[in-house]
Amino acid sequence: WVHREAYVPRYNAQPGAALPCVRASDPTRGEPPDERRVESMTWGLVPSFTGPGEKPDHFRMFNARGETLREKPAFGRLLRRRRCVALIDGFYEWRLEGAGRAGAKQPYYLYLRPSRDENESASCERTHDAREVSETAVIADAETNVSRRWDDATESVSPIRVAALYDVWRRKRAPEKDADADARDALFDTDTDTETMTTCVLVTVDASERIAWLHDRMPAVLRSDEEMKAWLAGGAEFDGDGDSSDRRPETLLRPYAAEDLAWHPVTSDVNAAGKLEGPRCCAPARRAAERDAGSVAGLFAKAAAFEEKKKNESSPEKRLDRSPPFIDAASSPSSAFRKRPRTTPPRPANQRSVADMFKKK
């Protein structure tokens, strides 16, 4: 394994991360011919013709369309001797769900179930209608429990062999060493002034009918060791014309539609690549549309109830019925006050009141 110390398993890898890739041995590196090597390659191709002083952009070429490999100078020259196979546990695809401003990109995690577990594979399929299915890892409310159970379940997940191309770029060696110098040097073959960096690009094809509802592209999955061997094989047998055209490596690039391909929705936190890491990234989770449905419905229900209350209060019948409630005089505070003994002296009999002064005689 070349540069094995540079590989760190990731749950949410992005371009610039190291991927384990299988390639044919390279005699120019002093390796014996007709052998295979595993090498930690940086995801995101930097062509060898890139200037040694340029800054690499791994997001520029991290995927390559299999249909146009020969048409692109950066990829066509690599088909003969620079093919490799990236080994991954799964990959993410996003689908826009929801309408209007409420729409959001929902991530899904896709992976391969072992072919011997047909029943388990069938239970993990999710159709375009988004029917709920029973997953091996139970979706619980506590996300930590879900992550832990899914992390245990991933032991039975089969690795995905993705067709890829690689190149070796020589660039100027950094003049000063920083805190990550040891990790960076693990990816390079260095000398006094320059260092070489091996980068790769993953090949993609049209999505199979099973996942066309989710995305229009998918990685070019190699189905067997024989296909893997054929993809890694270099030489003129793949570059000829006429009768040999059907043996070109592009014939191995086709949509993967086998029944062992399974998927489930995951947390939308994986949308920010590099920020969320750990088993929770690929653990089953509720779709954002389902999770927010209750709160949205409740919001509209409260608004409807408020409008109904406001309408009833403004109706004529309601306004006429706003008389104060009946109060029993015997039990009201005012009646109790009137029943208290009189403290003012009575008026003398000969004292005339104001009303008496205006009485007609």
Burial of 218 (0-12, 13-18, 19+ CB in 10 A): buried
Place 194 in a pLDDT band, splitting at 50, 70 and 90: confident
**Who contacts 120 (Cβ-Cβ below 8 Å, separation ≥6)?**
113, 136, 156
Q: Which residue has the higher pLDDT, 178 or 346?
A: 346
List pLDDT tens digits, range 275-308.
Answer: 788 999 999 998 877 765 555 555 555 566 667 7
Tokens of 99: 């309408």
Q: Which residue has the higher pLDDT, 346 or 16?
A: 16
The structure's pTM equals 0.67
Q: In the chain, count of helices (H) and strands (E)?
A: 9, 11
Per-residue H/E/C for 154-188: HHHCECEEEEEEEEEEEEECCCCCCCCHHHHHCCE
Place 179 in a pLDDT band, splitting at 50, 70 and 90: very low
Q: Which residue has the higher pLDDT, 305 or 30?
A: 30
Q: Which residues pair with 43 in a beta bridge?
A: 200
Average pLDDT over residues 84-109: 88
Place 67 in a pLDDT band, splitting at 50, 70 and 90: very high
Q: Does residue 155 carry a pLDDT above 80?
A: no
Q: Which residue has the tokens 């109904």?
A: 308
Q: Does residue 137 carry a pLDDT above 50?
A: no
Which pLDDT belongs to residue 353? 60
Percent of the chain with pLDDT over 70: 58
| DSSP conformation class of 158 | B
Q: In terms of DSSP bridges, do strands 18-24 and 36-43 run parallel, antiparallel, or are they unpaired? A: antiparallel
DSSP, collapsed to helix, strand or coil, labels residue 46 as coil
Average pLDDT over residues 43-63: 90
Q: Does residue 44 carry a pLDDT above 90?
A: yes
Q: Which residue has the higher pLDDT, 213 or 137?
A: 213
**Who contacts 249 (Cβ-Cβ below 8 Å, separation ≥6)?**
79, 83, 163, 230, 231, 238
Cα gap 351→101, rounded to integer Å: 85
Which pLDDT belongs to residue 141? 36
Q: Which residue has the higher pLDDT, 248 or 237?
A: 248
Which pLDDT belongs to residue 32? 86
- Indicate the average pLDDT of the chain: 74
